[in-house]
Structures are given as structure tokens and as C-alpha cells.
Structure 1
């Protein structure tokens, strides 16, 4: 009987000293994964950039007589498109509220937009136009989809124009004129941020420049001809901007 009791005690001691099975171990505590961090692109800040593209200016000439002898009614001489290339730069500032983006921008461009037509009233004369430069001063309202921005703009436009006319047969200029004309502009654009402070985009603008009386300096002056010249301007440009401030920020 004594041997049996000693054997039983030995078995109990052996079971207590044996390692615990997997079922006996306490469950490991669950650690929640850290929340995902979404990158939000901030369009706020000053920016500067360059642009290039093309444009066309629709010009209509109406003969108004002479500086000292105006006609009672203008006579149509016809229209033409002055088209060509343009290159320039822009500088501006944007600020962002939620997904809405607001901005102010000044843009200045050199241009070489030229065109001509034979006068309907003077069929031996060709009228010619050249747009040498333009500037845009606009406000912007846009909506951002993180680093993609769609915006509209509007404001003031200024254009530097030169005009001339000459006998079609000879091409020798008889009269010239130049002006700086102000008007209004509206536009739409898309911009994409491909790096924290860099973006590229494309923009279309239409300028309403109205009509003005232009007095020509005639090279062999007998009189000073006057034409009423109306003008619109359409511009398409690709742009690249560098921005200070407002890099990509983290948002939980």
C-alpha cells in the first residue's frame, strides 16, 4: 500500500513539472493595426511658372473715312484671323479651403499672331494685323481632387497690336498703326501636381477686346485713314508651375 501511494505522488509531481500544452497557454493580446494615412495635396502658396502654346485673334475692319472727314456709316472691309505661337510666364497665389481653391494670377506673353485679308471695299489693298504681346490679370475659383485641380478664371486682358495696309500687287506698306487695348477675359484650366511643389497643366482663355477706331499714319500722307477694328482673342497654353508652401501633408 505504501508503494502505491509513493508512486501516485511521483506521477503528480511529474505532471506538475511537465511543460504546459498549447491549450493551457493564455491567448495573446490582439494589437490593433495603426490607421491608414491618406496623403492630401495642398494647393496653397505662391507660385511662378512658364507657359507656351498658340492663339488666334479674329479681326474685323470697317472703313470709317478719314480723320478730318468721317463717313456717316462705316463700310465693311472684311475679317481675318491672326494666328501663331506664344510663350510667356505667370505668377500667382492660391489658398485652399477644404476642396475649394481660390487664387489670383498675373500672366504676360510674347506673341507672334499674324493674319491678313484683301479689303472688300478697296479690292487692291490688303489689310494686315499682328498681335505682339498680351497680358492677363485674373481671379480663379477651382475644385481640387487631391493633386488634380479643375478651375475657372476671369478678369482683365491687355493686348499689344500692330496694323498695316499695302497694295496687294507690291506688298509695300502704305500705312501703319499700333495700339494697346484693354478688355475682359474668361478661361478654364486643369492642373496636375506631379510632385509636392511642381504641377503641370493646360489652359484655354477667351478675351473680349471689343472695337476701337484706329487712325493710320499714311506714309505718303494725303489724309489719315480711320478704321473701326473689332477683336477677339483665343489662347491655348501648356503650363508648368513651381509653388512655395503647401506641400503634401498627412491626414488621418
Structure 2
């Protein structure tokens, strides 16, 4: 090949290179998928365990009135209350629904039911030695919240996977109260009151706050504080009205049930 032919081939190759380069595909970056925004909207179901307690209050009152000839009636009365400290573990489950607004606010409703071991009990005795005659009294009383539940609204704010809320609504539960009293002398039992037993469902209210964190797309961990007030119910009530002898007497005792709870649990979101 002479120099003239080689030079012409070089010029032709150089002219063809831009055209070939124009036909080559340049590398294109793959589009980045947007990170989905977490939402608390939806139904959920879960389980929890916790510890609670405070006290049971037992307000009481008694009054008697005795008519007297040619003088004012003799009237005596007393009133007060005594309390028992309560504590115990509980556990159960909850179900609810949340709706998250565009601004991050979250509104929901939740109901839960708990088995409970929250109880308070007092056992005592008193011995009296009167000139060698020994008399003793034994008594015991106590109450237990066998189970309780709530129906509450939840209102708060979510920072992505973190949800902080306040909560409040109605509460209900079964409270069982028992008590007995006996006096024993040298020859055995000389006096014994009939055991007091009262068991039934009580209604009240609850309020508190909680924190929930989504540890996975469908799972979240929660911790929650609630104050529960199950109201007041009558334990015993007696009335004696002896019209013939001008004597009237009445007595009453109630139980008031209140306790604080702290629990932790998990929820599965649908």
C-alpha cells in the first residue's frame, strides 16, 4: 500500500468515528424510587401486660335515734372511712382503629379487656386480758379487681413511625369484696358477724397517655399509662326501725375502687 492510499484510508476512518459514536447509547442512571411515607391509618389488634394499684376506700356511716320521755331524743352518729393499699399484675388484649390526617395528627378509638390480680387485703387481731379473762377478736377484709376493660378515644401526633397520644373514655370491671369478724372468749366463739360478700361489675372512667413506635411496617410497640376510677358501690346497708320503743338505727358501708396502671404491649396493623 502506497502512502497515498494509506492517507486516504486514515482520513476516511477519522470522518466515520463521530458518526459511529453518535449511534452508541450513553449509560442512563436508574430512577430512584421514592421512600413511602409511613401512615398509622388502619385497624390493629394486640396484647399487653402491666402492673397497677393504688387503694380501696371503704366509707362508712352509722346513726341511731332513741326517743326519751319528756326530753329530747338521744341521737348518736359516726362516719369515716378506712383504706387498703392495692397492687397486682394484669394482662390482656386490645383492638382499635387509627386515622392519620395529612398534617400528622392521628385520631383513633380503642377497646381493651384485662385479666387482673390487683387486690388489697387486711388481716388483724386484738387480744384483751381483763382480770385474767382473755378475749380476742379477729377480722379480715379485702377487695380484688378480677378483670377490667376500657373503651377510649386516642388523639395525638405522629412523627413518621413515632406516635404520641392522650387517651380517655369509659371503664368497667368486676370487683369482689369479702370480710368477716369474730370475738373469741375462754369458752370459744362468743360473737361473730355474718361474712360480708359483694361481687359485681362497676362502671367508671379512665384517662392517660401513651407512646407507640412502629418497629416494622405492620408491627408496633407501645407503652401506656392509665388512671382508672371504677366508682363507688354499696357493700352492706342495715336499718332497724322499732316504732313501739321509739328506736331507729341505720348503718352503711361502701367501697370505692381506683388504681393506676402502667403497661407495655405490641400491636399488629392490618
Normalised-by-shorter TM-score class = 0.7 to 0.9
Q: Deviations over 1:183-218 (max 9, x none)?
A: 11111111222222222211111113344433279x
Q: How many residues align?
A: 226
Partner of 2:172: 158
Which structure has the highest strand share of the two?
2
Confirm or deny: 8 A CA contact 2:196 2:236 kept in the other structure: no
Aligned residue for 2:100?
96
Structure 2 residue aligned with 1:137: 151
TM-score by length of 1: 0.73
SS in 1 for 2:86: strand
Flag structure 1 segments of 5+ consecutive residues without an equivalent: 1-5, 218-222, 245-252
Q: 4+ residue stretches of structure 1 with deviation over 3 A?
A: 9-12, 17-20, 28-33, 123-126, 167-170, 209-213
CA distance in 1, matches of 2:26, 2:80: 92
5+ residue gaps, structure 2: 64-75, 125-136, 185-192, 239-248
Q: What RMSD in Å do the two structures reach over aligned CA positions?
A: 3.7
* Partner Cα separation in structure 2 for residue 58 and residue 36 of structure 1: 56
| Mapped partners of 1:224, 1:41: distance in 2 | 63
Helix, strand or coil: the match of 2:39?
Answer: coil
Q: Does the 8 A contact of 1:176 with 1:216 survive in 2?
A: no
Residue 237 in structure 1 maps to residue 263 in structure 2: yes
Q: 2:131 maps to what in 1?
A: none
TM-score, structure 2 normalization: 0.69
Picking from 168, 182, 189, the partner of 2:210 is 189
Task: Call closer, same or farther: CA 1:169–1:134 in 2, change over 3 Å.
Answer: farther
